[in-house]
A and B are shown apart, each in its own frame.
Chain A
Amino acid sequence: MTSMRTRLRRHIATLAEVSEASIDDQTPILEDGYLDSANLLELIYLIEEMTDTELDLDEIQPEIFRNIDTICTHFGEQGS
């Protein structure tokens, strides 16, 4: 089973067209501009797929999406 952290890092690196090694769990993915508009939507869909739930609008908050750590803390560590 691939952990949520690993999948997120892989996904963000692919979308941002950077190496996985350049992103750690504390990399500020919004602040540092890793993801554009379309990529953020892709990230939402990935989290929904991993958690098997539809995100509530209230969960789309900057503090939750600050980095991989904050995403995993909020949505749990489910992997699939």
Chain B
Amino acid sequence: MAMKHAERHRTLASIEGPALDFMTRLDEVLCSWSAALGGQPRVYSPLLPVDKLHQSDHFSSFPHQATFAVSAAAEADNLKTFAADPVDGDGFLKTPALNPVRYCLTPGACYPIYLDLENQHLDEPLYLTVRSVCFRHETVTEALRRQPAFNMREIVCLGTSNEVSEFLAVLRPRVEALCAALGLDVTLQPATDPFFEPKHNSSYITQKLSMLKLEMQYQSDLAIGSINDHRQGFGTKFDIARGAEPAHSACVAFGLERWLYCMYDAHGPDAEAWPVAAADVSP
């Protein structure tokens, strides 16, 4: 069973056999939703330049979740010391002197899109889908439910306000229909991201008061995905234009390991007996 490795190590979940088949099929279904909108799949590096992510205010909003790609500084003595004794008795790195940190590990699959589109003008709405391993520092981890590294599929639209609203109006009922077809007790609930010092963060205030984020809540306990209206946030920060204005954007995000967790929880360990994710779940 896929969970056996997870039980041995709380941050790693080996996904294999029918459970992996399910996850692959689910991902294909989500990609087909993007394709039906004319969306193109893209693959990005999970490393983001820190100065670019800073441009999105990510570090001021989520400093507690940021993770970085670091490497040991090249001085011989530093490397010698590190090589001789790299890990302490509690399993933590004995951190050597580090090179300047240029990259962070992407916290969400869609961030690279906005960085990539910086200073561009869109002549028509842009639909994309991306999948990435995403990284977030978590104080408590649990296999499949809360992993510091996890797979996220996102379907993204950039366009005018109306184009983005239509995109969300198309995908929202599809999400609900998919959950119903898979026998998952999921409701869409207004939510906010876990902002640092939220009351002093204008993005938090706006997200909450304008209900810009809906979470796919499994049994009102676990968010397995979210529907996010960014309005012109990324369009403004990265100078992406649609028409004469900063582009609006939105993403629909799916935490694939969490979907697996729900399937185990709802239908038991025999993944071969689970309902199959079908592409045609249009309501």
Contacts and interface: CB of A to CB of B under 8 A. Distances in A.
27 contacts: A30-B209, A30-B210, A37-B202, A37-B203, A37-B206, A38-B202, A40-B202, A40-B206, A40-B209, A41-B200, A41-B201, A41-B202, A41-B205, A44-B205, A54-B199, A55-B199, A57-B199, A60-B199, A60-B208, A61-B208, A61-B209, A62-B190, A62-B208, A62-B209, A62-B210, A62-B211, A65-B209
Interface string A15-55: 00000000000000010000011101100100000000011
Contacts, number: 35
A40 B211 CA distance: 13
Given A44-B205, A65-B209, 17 more contacts: A37-B202, A37-B203, A37-B205, A37-B206, A40-B202, A40-B205, A40-B206, A40-B209, A41-B202, A54-B199, A55-B199, A60-B205, A60-B209, A61-B208, A61-B209, A62-B208, A62-B210
Contacts of B209: 30, 40, 60-62, 65
A62 B233 CA distance: 20
Chain A, interface size category, equals: 10 to 19
Interface in A58-76: 60-62, 65
A65 B205 CA distance: 11
Chain B, interface size category, equals: 10 to 19
B86 interface: no
A54 B210 CA distance: 21
Contacts of A38: 202
Contacts of B233: 37
Contacts of A61: 208-209
B198 interface: yes
A57 B211 CA distance: 15
Contacts of A55: 199
Interface in B29-52: none
Interface string B15-32: 000000000000000000
A40 B210 CA distance: 10
A34 B190 CA distance: 21
Nearest to A66: B209
